[in-house]
Amino acid sequence: MNQKLKTVVSCALVGALVSLGSHTRVFADTDPSVGTTHVVDQDGNGDFTTIQAAVNAASNTDCILIRPGTYFEEVDLGSKRLFLESEDILDDFTVATTVIHGSDTRATCMKTGNGVTQDSWVRGITFTHATDHGLQCGTEASPANVFVRRCRFIDNGSLTNGTDGAGLAYTTGRVLECSFRGNETEERGAGYFGESNSVEQCIFVGNEAADNGGALSGASKVDRSEFYDNVAENGGAIANSPGILITNSIFSKNVANNHGGAMYFCKSGTRVYNCTFVLNDADNKGGAMREVKGTGTKIKSNIFFFNTAGTSGDDTSDCSTRHYCFFETGNKPSNGNGNVQAASPLLVYLPLGGAESGEDGNYHIANSNSACIGNGRVLDGSNNDTPNDHDFDDDARPGSGGTWDIGADEF
């Protein structure tokens, strides 16, 4: 098949291709009916040499397929419903070399119009060196519904630029299998800020917010995601997300200059289940997390280990409910049901490896002697909870022993 024809058909085939991935059960895409495919190739072997020219020529439901290259553009999709993606969204090298570059002078690498309600998607593209947002989906007051998958948001924003969400901002669509690294903001959510209905299987490394939420502020659900070395005033990784459900995720070496080394919550309805918190730090209260009193955060089946805080040395300062969690010896709270303590949860400290990985992470249970095994609890289905039937690796809960474990990993 010639190269141009091979590229044109990939938009139609990508839904089938993703079924080859390791998380087919959760993440297989359902592609809508795609119109004309417009191929962008800087070398002149496609239909256009710039992304904006392809967007200008496209109609609703068309696909813009971008071949590898560094595109120094500020792409404006307007109010069109379009599907933009790299030539192979499942290939890490293709994603890393299909780049929209803001040159540290452009406000965004790509933006959509306000309030676009029909699903669009952006998949397999790297956004870097924008001054405000790598990808801006509408505005905070009028967000757009954009499904973002397997994208990279690298080194966007700055600590002196007063915009939320330096990497990705405002989408109400799903955010899947994306990486956020080295983004900075003077405001909130350096990696992602907005109202996404879910952030799943993403990794956040080395993002920093001068305000709250070094990695993320927003979303109604975070699942199977990793947070390493993020920094903020409050909530080194996550802050101020009302009603958020956080499951099966790993938090390590996040830092808060004030409260909540990994998390800070001052809005109601937060639920944190089956997560692992290791080596997070806060200068004031809550080495792992801080809840403003009265907000009713629910904490169940989490591992808290070697988290530190300056003013209050506990892991979970002021949190109202802590049940079936692991705490290192001497740190178990006096209230709560089914909490356990031991000198160590016996975790494996595995280097993740690769440019997009954290530093010491993926803290799986090492062996059957861990106090975390069999002492967790299933979600009860109340309060809009979804039963937590799979772990960080997408393995079934409960495991072969028939009982639920504590933390992100089911042994």
Instruction: Check if the beta carbon of residue 135 is closer than 8 Å to that of residue 192.
Output: no
**Bridge partners (DSSP) listed for residue 107:** none
Q: What is the mean pLDDT of residues 230-257?
A: 91
pLDDT above 60 (res 406): yes
pLDDT above 60 (res 1): no
Give CA–CA dist 289/280, Å, rounded.
9
pLDDT above 70 (res 360): no
* pLDDT computed for residue 117 by the predictor: 64
pLDDT above 60 (res 371): yes
* pLDDT computed for residue 266 by the predictor: 74
With 0-12 / 13-18 / 19 or more C-beta atoms within 10 angstroms meaning exposed / middle / buried, residue 366 is: middle
- Alpha carbon of 141 to those of 76, 133, 137, 171, 239: distances in Å? 18, 16, 11, 11, 19
SS (H, E, C) 138-173: ECCCCECCEEEECCEEECCECCCCCCCCCCEECCCC
* pLDDT computed for residue 23 by the predictor: 27
pLDDT band per the 50, 70, 90 thresholds, residue 267: low
pLDDT digits over 183-235, tens only?
A: 999 999 999 998 777 999 999 999 999 999 999 998 889 999 999 999 999 99
pTM of the model: 0.90
Instruction: Check if the beta carbon of residue 29 is closer than 8 Å to that of residue 15.
Output: yes
pLDDT above 70 (res 302): yes
pLDDT band per the 50, 70, 90 thresholds, residue 3: very low
Q: What is the mean pLDDT of residues 11-31?
A: 37
Q: What is the mean pLDDT of residues 134-162?
A: 92
pLDDT above 50 (res 152): yes
* pLDDT computed for residue 322 by the predictor: 86
pLDDT band per the 50, 70, 90 thresholds, residue 352: very low
pLDDT band per the 50, 70, 90 thresholds, residue 319: confident
pLDDT digits over 88-128, tens only?
A: 999 999 999 999 999 999 999 999 987 676 688 999 999 99
Give CA–CA dist 233/284, Å, rounded.
10
For residue 376, give the DSSP letter. Answer: -
Instruction: Check if the beta carbon of residue 184 is closer than 8 Å to that of residue 153.
Output: no
* pLDDT computed for residue 57 by the predictor: 97
How many other C-beta atoms can be found within 10 angstroms of the C-beta atom of residue 126?
A: 21
* pLDDT computed for residue 357 by the predictor: 38
Average pLDDT along the chain: 84
* pLDDT computed for residue 25 by the predictor: 24
With 0-12 / 13-18 / 19 or more C-beta atoms within 10 angstroms meaning exposed / middle / buried, residue 92 is: middle
How many other C-beta atoms can be found within 10 angstroms of the C-beta atom of residue 401?
A: 12
CA-based nearest residue to 269, from 324, 327, 320, 340: 320
Q: Give yes or no for a cis peptide into 333 (omega within 30° of 0).
A: no
Give CA–CA dist 303/406, Å, rounded.
6
For residue 404, give the DSSP letter. Answer: P
Q: Is 6 helix (H, G, I), strand (E, B) or coil?
A: helix
pLDDT digits over 167-181, tens only?
A: 999 998 899 999 999
pLDDT digits over 47-67, tens only?
A: 999 999 999 999 999 999 999
pLDDT band per the 50, 70, 90 thresholds, residue 353: very low
* pLDDT computed for residue 373 by the predictor: 93
pLDDT above 60 (res 365): yes
Q: What is the mean pLDDT of residues 292-296?
A: 68
Between residues 64 and 380, the one the model is more confident about: 64
Looking at the chain, the whole-number percentage of residues with pLDDT higher than 90 is 58
pLDDT above 70 (res 86): yes
Give CA–CA dist 67/69, Å, rounded.
6
pLDDT band per the 50, 70, 90 thresholds, residue 329: confident
